[in-house]
Amino acid sequence: MARLVECVPNFSEGRDKQVIDAISAAISETPGCSLLDVDPGASTNRTVYTFVGPPEAVVEGALNAAQRAFSLIDMSKHSGEHPRTGALDVCPFIPVQNVNMDDCVHCANEFGRRLAEMLHVPVYLYGEAAQSELRRSLPSVRSGEYEALPEKLKRDMWAPDFGPAHFVPSWGATVTGARKFLIAYNVNLIGTKEQAHRIALDIREQGRGKDQPGLLKKVQGMGWYLEEANLAQVSTNILDFELTPLHTVYEEICRDAEELKLPVVGSQIVGLIPLKALLDAADFYMKRDQLFIIEEEHKVRLVISKLGLDSLGPFNPKERIIEYMMRSQEEGGLTSLSLRQFVHSVGARTAAPGGGSVSAAIGALGAALGAMVGQMTYGKRQFENLDGVMRRLIPPFYQAMNELLELVNADSSAFNGYMVALKMPKTTTEEKKRRETAMQEGLKQAVGVPLTLAEKISILWPSLKQMVVYGNMGCKSDAQVAAKALETAVFGAYYNVLINLKEISDEAFRISTQRRVSELLQEAKDNVASILDAAEKRT
C-alpha cells in the first residue's frame, strides 16, 4: 500500500471564489496530490483544504498553494470570526497510511524551511513538530493573532523557527506542524455569540483558565456568530476523538444549552472526518436507544440524523468521510472486481490470486448466508418472538463477512510479498542473508492470513448452530450451504498453511502453527456435522 500523508492547510480567504479556486488548482496540479475537500466559510473568511499524497508530494503541494496565495491574499485587509495569524494560517501534516508521526514531523520541518526560504516569511512549528512545550499548542502560538505579530516578533521567546523575525504585513506568519487527525466540529445554537462562547468555555479543556478547567479533554472551543446562517455556533477542535468522541462533545453542548434554555439546531463538520468517529457515535446511540443496525451505511445515516450534520447543507458521506474519499482514489484490489473478473483472474496464468483468496471469498459467502438467514427471520411478524435472538446472532456473521472479504486481498498481497523476496539479489553473503530473512518473513505472512481466516470462522460455529435451530425454515438450505461453505474455507486455509509451513525454518513456529490449524479443521468438521444434523431434524 502507498505511503500517504494528509495535509490540511487553512488559508485566510473564504469569500473570494477566484482566490479559493486558484489555491485549489495549485494543489490539484501538483503531481501525486489528490485534493479531497475544499471547505470555505464566509463569516470566518477562511478556507480549509484537505489533500493527500506521498510525503514528498504533499510538501510540494502545500508549497505550491502557499506560493499561489502569496500574491492573492493581503492580510492587512483581512477580517473574520476565526482566529488567524497569517495568509496561510496553519498547515498541519497528518499520518494516514504506511507513515508515522516522525514522517509528518519531517514534512513539517521541510515545508517550514522551504516556505521561509521561498517567501521570506516567519514560520513557526507546533504540535508534534514543536521545538518547545510553549509552542506545542496552536492557540498558544497564535496568541494575539495577526495584529500582535509586529511586537511579538521582536521578542526572543517568539523568534520564528524558520525565516526572518520581521513583520510581513501582506502575509503575517505561518504555523506548521504534525498532529493526529483533528475534527473541526461546530454545534449550532439559536442564541448569541456570547452565549455560544460561554458554553465553549465550559466544555473546552482550557476552560476559563488554570483555576477553572473545562470538562472535555483534548477539545478546544470558542463561540462565534455565523452571519450567513443567522445563528451562533460553539466551534470546537477535537484533537483526539478516541479520547473525547464526537458524540460526547455534542451531548455535553446540548446539556449546557438546555440549562441556558437555548435550542440546538444541528451541527457541522468542517472538512473531512474519519469513519471511526461516526461509527463510534452510532454505537453510542444504538446502545443508548436500544437500536438494531448492522449496515455501515445505516449507521452513518443515524449519526447524520442524530447530530443534524446536514443542518447547514448536504452531508454526503462519499465526500466527507476520509476513508470513502481515499477509497475512490485507490483501486480496491480483488474485491473491487466483478464476479466474472474475479473468476477469470483466478483462472489466469498467475500464482495469485489462488487457493487462499478463493478460500477467503468462499468463507465470506458462507458468513453472508448466515447473515441472510438471520435477516430473513428478523422483523417478520411470524417470528417476532425471535427478534431478540436475531439481534444477537446476525452481527457476528455480518462482521465476519466484511473481515473475510478483506482477507481476499490480504492473501494475494502476502503471497506477492514472498515472491518479491525470492527475486532479491543473492550474490554476496550479506545479500543471501537479507534474502533468506525476507523469504522467511514472507512465508510467515503467507501462513498468517489463512490461519486468521480459520480463526475468524471458528467464532461463527456457535452462532450458526443457533441460527439453524431458530432461523426461518424457508432458509434451511441457505443455512446448510453456509455451513459447508465455511467448512470448505477452513479446509482451504488448512491446506494453504501446510504448504507454506514446510519452507519455514523456525521449528517452534512450525509445530505450534500446524497444531493450531489442525485443531481448527477438526473443530470445523465436528461443528458442520452437528449443524447439518440439527437442520435435518427441523421440519
53: buried, middle or exposed (CB in 10 Å: 19+, 13-18, 0-12)?
A: buried
Torsion-angle region of residue 314: left (phi > 0), alpha (psi -120 to 50) or beta?
beta
- In the residue annotation, 247 being an active-site residue is answered as no
- In the residue annotation, 298 being an active-site residue is answered as no
3: buried, middle or exposed (CB in 10 Å: 19+, 13-18, 0-12)?
A: middle
Strands 264-270, 183-189: parallel, antiparallel or unpaired by DSSP? Answer: antiparallel
Identified catalytic residue from 82, 89, 161, 197: 82
Alpha helix segments (H runs only) across 270-333: 275-289, 296-307, 317-320, 322-329
Q: Which amino acid is it at 442?
A: G
Q: Could you say which DSSP state residue 51 is in? A: E
**What are the Cα distances from residue 433, in Å, to 418, 446, 447, 509, 513?**
15, 20, 21, 20, 24
- Do 420 and 442 contact (CB within 8 A), yes or no? yes
258: buried, middle or exposed (CB in 10 Å: 19+, 13-18, 0-12)?
A: exposed
CA atoms within 13 A of residue 124's CA, in its CB half-sphere: 31
Q: Which of 199, 248, 182, 238 is nearest to 10 (CA)?
A: 182
Residues 66 and 87: their CA atoms lie apart, in Å, by: 8
Torsion, Cα 361 363 368 374, to 10 degrees, reads: 180
Residue length of the chain: 539
Alpha helix segments (H runs only) across 85-174: 101-119, 138-141, 145-152
Identified catalytic residue from 89, 256, 411, 478: 411
Residues 492 and 522: their CA atoms lie apart, in Å, by: 13
- Do 66 and 104 contact (CB within 8 A), yes or no? no
Cis-peptide into 353, omega within 30 deg? yes
3-class DSSP state for residue 274? coil
User: What backbone phi and psi angles, to 5 degrees, belong to 504?
Assistant: -85, 130
**Could you list the active site residues?**
82, 411
